Amino acid sequence: MKRIVTLASGQFGDLPLEDLCVLAKKMGYDGLELATHAHFDVQKALHDQSYIPAVKATLAKHGLQCQAISAHLTGQCVGDVWDERLDNFAPSALAGQPEKIRQWAVEEMKDTARAAQKFGVSVVNGFTGSPIWARWYSYPQTSQRMIDDGYRLIHDLWTPIFDVFDQCGVSFALEVHPTEIAFDYYTTEHLLKLFDYRPTLGINFDPSHLVWQGVDEVGFVRDFASRIYHVHMKDVKMFRNDRAGILGSFLPFGDTRRAWNFVSVGHGDVDFDGIIRELNQAGYEGPLSVEWEDSGMDREFGATESCAYVKKMNFSASAFAFDSALSTN
């Protein structure tokens, strides 16, 4: 199978790139999806002539590839409504200054496209943020105009960013995710229509965020196949707990009282067999990137096991029909 199995680096941000490369190779990965908040410095990539060659040399030294970078934290700052949590995603000098954080994020996303082009990567994964996420329950009453205005703001904020992506020949793959403007099937459909199915905008498919919401992850791949530009392999486990609801109860990830938790790939309820079959049907040949988030399992053990599981599941479509030998014609 041509698809490589990579590791999303964001959850390993405590490790320098060199150390992460050593560990990723040891765990069996073919490459890394480099996060801009951890292992790929956008501004150094643009302004330090030695930076990109050094990153490439480090990857090559350990036999690793990079086919996508991720800018989730930056993208969140573009479209979100500010609260103090966003201060952790932006330069510290901008803390407590919502408009300056947004202005920084817009320009940084443009530079991320330019840095990706310079690095030789054609896909940037990330978030968009959402000015209307807090209104998802529609109480106090939420008018259609409020929803439309929220989508329009995202359109207005991201259109000039996507113009730069187009100039650079780079695509943006939105991770459909709670707190984003597109968080399930219908909101994704709405967003793509809003941008008139602009080719720049696609999907970083992560099934774990759909399953706990009750959305059919396999059908999602089938219906949005042409827009899937990158794939995150992440699992979620649903638990029988009559005391807990799917909203999380303000319990931290990993708490076994929760109704669901992210778990190592293969330990949850995501139908990866069905997903791979749909990806094969769609002709997807991009990376399968393990985003390891399991608070109940040792990180190295879990990420190693996840890599092995994904490689086992990374099968190709059949070159012939199984019953072709039965034909009499």
- Domain residue limits at 128: 5-326
Amino acid 319: pLDDT: 77
Amino acid 327: pLDDT: 63
CATH number of the domain enclosing 200? 3.20.20.150
Measured distance CA(285)–CA(68) in Å, rounded: 13
Q: How many domains does the chain have?
A: 1
Amino acid 200: pLDDT: 98
What pTM was computed for the model? 0.96
Residue bearing tokens 């780079």: 170
Task: Report DSSP letters for 37-73, one per residue.
Answer: TTT--HHHHHH-TTHHHHHHHHHHHTT-B---EE-HH
Whether 119 and 55 have beta carbons less than 8 Å apart is answered as yes
Amino acid 187: pLDDT: 98
Amino acid 121: pLDDT: 98
Regions of the chain short of the pLDDT cut 50: none
Amino acid 241: pLDDT: 87
Among 140, 148, 75, CA closest to 111: 75
Phi and psi at 262, nearest 5°, equal -70, 135
Amino acid 317: pLDDT: 85
pLDDT digits (tens, 9 = 90+) for 242-279: 999 999 999 999 999 999 999 999 999 999 999 999 99
SS3 110: helix
Measured distance CA(77)–CA(105) in Å, rounded: 6
**How do 288-290 and 228-233 pair as beta strands?**
parallel
Amino acid 240: pLDDT: 86
Amino acid 318: pLDDT: 78
Amino acid 323: pLDDT: 59
